[in-house]
Amino acid sequence: MHSAVDAERSSSRAAATAPARVAVAGATGYTGQELLRILSRHPAVTVTAAMSSGTSAARKLPALARLWAGDITPLSVDSLRQAEVVFLALPDAAAAELGPTLVDAGVRVIDLSGAFRLTEATARARWYPETYRVPEHTVYGLTELARPAVAGARLVANPGCYPTATLLALSPIAAAGLLAPDVDVIVDAKSGVSGAGKTPSERTHFSEVHGSMGAYGVFGHRHGAEIEQGVASATGAATVVNFVPHLVPLDRGILATIYVRLTPGTTEDTLADVFQQAYLSAPFVRLVGSTLPEIKHVAHTNFCDIGWRVDASGRAVLVSVIDNLLKGASGQAVQNLNVMLGIDERTGLW
């Protein structure tokens, strides 16, 4: 239903109007660099500023030589105010402060931190202890499930990487009422190391990760709360999600294996129908059914591939894979930008 040629055409249309002025705050981390890489080739935008809070003088990013000619400059709120849309790839506290300021100044914001993801104040206070104001028209931007709201948002809270992979598989089933009540949902997630960011640490030292693997954050990772919020918004009722992330020896990619019990009579075909309906016009979701997806097929793309198996007793295993830096962060942020600008969702991402 979609094709590369369509995408090209839409882009050309978009390019005909004046390009949108966008800025990136936090441009030197892995997500920031990935944002710049995409935006520098995006036909419908002009990057007016790329800033880093750790920078005191303008400098170049060697990895982007020939791709982006601009400098990385020190963080300046005045400069950010000149943009139409600002991407925040900053720590939570910095984003929590800067987001409302920019919205007040009439700038639309796409925030890649966690600050605005939890909508319920108590949950937010538990995982993000800073006190801050959530602007009106703040939207949780899991694009495929929130397009109309994203289109009109002033601030988009770009979802976490684990919740993106998990909720794209889980939400349609939850919304269709197919989850057996009173059974825990188990989410066993595996992530590449780029998800841990760019700052060297013992946990991300090559010799500690290579040939190894481990779980972390059991019962204590805030993406668990974000996933529970997503499931609850789909079902209208609280569901316990037991979420355990693992660090695996690869660079880019997340694979979430999700264990659920379904209501009696639900089959693999039922799920196929539910997913096809949910993702009828979602260019970045690919349904692979019982084949089961692999990280290799989504790395360096904005795709989310979803597979599923159901047995006769209603046990189901869902497997969902994404590139954590693209669909799990910067790719989805640009996808949200496209929706906000009213242009083809795939522009700059195909």
15 vs 94 by CB, closer to a second copy: 15
342 by DSSP, 3-state: which? Answer: coil
Catalytic (active site) residue 304: no
Query: At closest approach, how far in Å is the CB of 32 from a second copy?
Result: 14
Residue that the structure tokens 């997503």 belong to = 230
297 by DSSP, 3-state: which? Answer: helix
Query: At closest approach, how far in Å is the CB of 292 from a second copy?
Result: 5
Query: At closest approach, how far in Å is the CB of 45 from a second copy?
Result: 11
Given 14, 44, 96, 161, the catalytic residue: 161
106 vs 200 by CB, closer to a second copy: 200
Q: One-letter amino acid identity for 112? A: L
Specify the pairing of strand 155-157 against strand 138-140: parallel
7 vs 75 by CB, closer to a second copy: 7
Q: Would you call 293 exposed, middle or buried from its count of C-beta atoms within 10 A (0-12, 13-18, 19+)? A: buried
Written as one string, the DSSP assignment of 215-269 is E--TTT-HHHHHHHHHHHHHHSS---EEEEEEE-S-SS-EEEEEEEEBPTT--HH
In whole angstroms, how far apart are CA 311 and each of 42, 173, 257, 316? Answer: 44, 16, 16, 7
| CA atoms of 172 and 179, how far apart (whole Å) | 10
Query: At closest approach, how far in Å is the CB of 327 from a second copy?
Result: 13
Structural contact between residues 35 and 27, judged by C-beta atoms closer than 8 angstroms: yes
319 vs 337 by CB, closer to a second copy: 319
62 vs 236 by CB, closer to a second copy: 62
* Cβ neighbour number for residue 95 with a 10 Å cutoff: 26
Query: At closest approach, how far in Å is the CB of 199 from a second copy?
Result: 8
Active site residues: 161
